[in-house]
Chains A and B, each alone.
Chain A
Amino acid sequence: MTTSIFYIVVGILTIISFIKDKTKTKKALKIGFNSFRKLLPSIIPMMIGIGLILSILSPNTVSQLLGEKSGILGAITAMVIGSIAFMPSFVAFPLGANLLSHGAGFPQIAGFISSLMAVGVVSLGLEIKYFGKMTAILRNITALTASIVFVLLVWRLM
């Protein structure tokens, strides 16, 4: 749904660009394709790596690990799993809602969802390639901090 809107918007922009300047648009296409090509050597192993990790860390396993566990240990586990696992939000959100109805607490779900979205252990290699080691690691630490803050707030407020 979102993706198709994105396709339409970028498609319209490309058409406008083409009408205004043919050569520039051709150059844009070339640049876009080139960045895609540069992305490939790091993104292909990532896709396979995620496939391997998720085949072990499936939604089922996640349910088992977070299902009835609560307390600080549960929240920490949730954040560790969230940082390593890699699943799209449209899989993660229903999974989280399901976990809630099966006895998991809000703080654990908060830790899982938040670190899942913002911390990327699997994509760290790619991130380092783009922004250097220091920036990539510090950004992920910031994201982990954000998840911890979120968990603590949910713990107090919900």
Chain B
Amino acid sequence: MKEKIVKYKWALLMLLSLILVNWALPDIGKSANSLTLSNFGTMLSVLPPIMLLIGLLDVWVPKETMIRYMGEHSGPTGFLIAFFLGSFAAGPLYAAFPVAAILLKKRAKITNVLFFLGVWSTAKLPMVMFEYTSFGGKFTFIHILSNLTVFLIGAIVLEKVLSKDEKEHIYQIATELA
């Protein structure tokens, strides 16, 4: 019981804040309530297939396969797979974290996983089409091209900056959470 409370301390704290806001500022509280509910709605509709996919990836894709296609020496293939995985995604960025964790658990290269997160955040295919209709081709084109270039450079630099121990640490915590 005590363990559970410690584990969910942030959730309880947030719930307390929400109650406090409802009590002190009923107007803002009301909209916070409905926004929170709709957030939970989005989360519960987006996460189940992603979680299922993570499970399937875990049992069907052996580590060796992942290392070959996305691992340390995967080269451009790894980048391409990261790109396609990210662009076919659906859902907000937080839903990408557990997917990234399972990729890391199977020893995908950190650069590739970071690039995957970048693509997921910016260049999900359905969102690209929506952006195109909202802001036009030029805007969308500059957005995708500039952001993906920076993400790519950033991912390569980050991998270089991290020491061997730090990388091992990342692989470890990701494995525990996946």
Contact = CB atoms under 8 A, between A and B. Distances in A.
Interface string A2-39: 11011101110110010000001101111111011011
Interface stretch (A62-70, A72-80, A106-114): A106-114
Given A17-B56, A110-B143, A120 B49 contact: no
B100 A58 contact: no
A45 B14 contact: yes
Interface of A: 1-3, 5-7, 9-11, 13-14, 17, 24-25, 27-33, 35-36, 38-39, 41-52, 54-56, 58, 86, 88-90, 93-94, 96-97, 100, 106, 109-110, 113-114, 117-118, 120, 123, 125-127, 129-132, 134-135, 138-139, 142-143, 145-147, 149-150, 153-154, 157-158
A132 B122 CA distance: 22
Nearest to B51: A32
Contacts of A154: 139, 142
A147 B149 CA distance: 11
Nearest to B176: A38
A97 B178 contact: no
Contacts of A32: 51-56
Contacts of A17: 56, 59-60
A3 B90 contact: yes
B97 A126 contact: yes
Contacts of A52: 14, 17-18, 21, 32, 36
A96 B139 CA distance: 12
A126 B174 CA distance: 12
A33 B126 CA distance: 27
Interface string B145-164: 01101110011001001100
A143 to B, nearest CB: 7
Given A48-B14, A132-B173, A14 B146 contact: no
A90 B130 contact: yes
B166 interface: yes
Given A41-B7, A51-B37, A118-B93, 8 more contacts: A2-B124, A3-B46, A5-B90, A29-B52, A48-B14, A58-B31, A142-B118, A143-B118
